[in-house]
Structure 1
Amino acid sequence: MTAIDPHDYLAVDDELEDSERDLRDTVRAYATTELLPQVNEWYERGELPRHVAKELGALGLLGMQLTGYGCAGASGTAYGVVCRELEAVDSGLRSLVSVQGSLAMTAIHRWGDEEQRQEWLPRMATGDALGCFGLTEPSSGSDPGSMRTTARRDGDDWVLNGSKTWITNGTIADVAVIWAGTEDGIRAFLVPTGTAGYSATEIRQKLSLRASISTDILLEDVRVPSSAILPHAPGLGAALSCLNEARFGILWGTIGAARACYAAALEYTGNREQFGRSLASFQLSQRKLAYMVVEITHASMTAMRLAQLKKAGTLRPEQISLGKLANARSAIEVARSARTMLGANGLTLAHPVMRHMSNLEAVLTVEGTEEIHELVIGRSITGVQAFR
Structure 2
Amino acid sequence: MLTSNVIKLLQTLASFLIERTSFKRIAITGSNGKTTTKEMLYSILSKKYKTYKTWGNLNSDIGLPLSILRVDGNEEYAVFEVGVSYVGEMDLLSQILKPEIVIITNISCAHMQAFKELQAIAFEKSKIIGKNTKIFVVNEMNDYCVYLEKRAKIANPNVKIVYFDFENLNIKSFSFLEGKFSFDFVYKGFEYSIFLLGRHNIFNAIGCINLALFLGMKEKEIREGLVETAFQKGRAEILTKNGYLILNDSYNGNMGSFMALKNMILDLNIQNKKFIVLGSFKELGEFAYKTHKDLIQEAVLMNFDKIFLIGEEFLDVRDSENLVEKYLYYFSEFDKFINFFLKSLEPSVFIVIKGSRFNRLERILNYI
Please confirm whether the aligned pair reaches a TM-score higher than 0.5, indicating the same fold. Answer: no
**Alignment TM-score, normalising by the size of structure 2:** 0.28
Instruction: Determine which structure has the larger strand proportion and give its number.
Output: 2
**Alignment TM-score, normalising by the size of structure 1:** 0.27
Instruction: Determine which structure has the larger helix proportion and give its number.
Output: 1
Q: Which has the higher contact order (CA 8 A, sep 6+)?
A: 1
